[in-house]
Amino acid sequence: MLKIQHMNIANKMSVLDLIEEMGKSGVLGAGKLSKATHLLADSIKDSETAIFLSMAGPLVPGGLRKVIADLIKDGHVDVLITSGANITHDLVESFGGRHYKGIHADDEELCSQGMGRIGDLYTKSEDFEVFETQITEILSKIAEKKKIISIRDFLFEIGNMIEDVNSILKIAAEKDVPIYAPGIIDSMLGLQLWMFTQDNELHLDAVGDMHELSDIVFGSKKVTAVMLGGGLPKHYALASNLLKGGVDAGIQVTMDRSETGSLSGAPLEEAKSWAKAKAGSNLVTVIGDVTIIFPMMVAGAREIINKEK
């Protein structure tokens, strides 16, 4: 048995220096973060590995918008799977809105003041009013060209019609990185789409996404799924790879527990029983807040890659 090596915290340490010290300890959450960071770096470096990144929870309003956008811009994401809410919040910022910090007040009072709360961050209803106006104009332009469209193509069209160079949708469209949002209707964007269809003809073809997605799965020699949070995006990332016996590697960052049998808290090893992860696949689960863990993981992986150039 190997002895645990205690971490040494020195002056002027880089993020990778700290993560490497965690790796020398090698146990509990510190050990898992180190393993996940190196797995992410190895997956990015391997030209034969496609990275499926899934996002659940308020990651865009929670400060990770640029982290995700930069990964796409730098060619480190091959497929993005996300909730409709993260797409909505990306568009809110693209249309000039923001997400805000503040002091928590009574939630009924917040509602009366036109404020919405997500934990300790806030949104303004006036920003969503701008979103509603802008997205309706975009929907009209899409409906002029197509009456039936897959969700992936729908998001690609939106990305091409916005001008915000910092937008996840915009950058993904420019890089031709597909975005899949199987639960898109469960969002403000989905609500606006439904309202638009009351007087206009525009239909989303959810099944249509599977044609391209299955081609990507079969066309990829290896797949690493990086799952931020759980829910539908996590399952879509794993289940799409069921077609070819499961993912070759997986990183999961979650705070959900496994006792209730929920997918969000399910250990990645459980996916092997469904052939959503291959036998012998490299799987790492890090328990923690994605807004803390993932930026550290990305910073460490980038440092590893840059040192080897």
The answer to whether 78 and 44 are in contact (CB under 8 A) is: no
CA–CA separation, 232 vs 55, rounded Å? 9
The answer to whether 116 and 104 are in contact (CB under 8 A) is: no
Q: Which amino acid is at 25?
A: S
Give yes or no: 45 in active site: no
CA–CA separation, 203 vs 30, rounded Å? 47
Element (H, E) at 176: none
CA–CA separation, 256 vs 289, rounded Å? 10
The answer to whether 196 and 136 are in contact (CB under 8 A) is: yes
Give the torsion through C-alpha atoms of 87, 255, 16, 54, to 10 deg: -30
| 37: three-class secondary structure by DSSP | helix
Point out the catalytic residue in the list 147, 276, 278, 309: 276
Using CA of residue 149, residue 153, residue 159, residue 162, what is the dihedral sign? negative
CA–CA separation, 154 vs 282, rounded Å? 34
CA–CA separation, 275 vs 70, rounded Å? 32
Q: Which residues are known to be catalytic?
A: 276
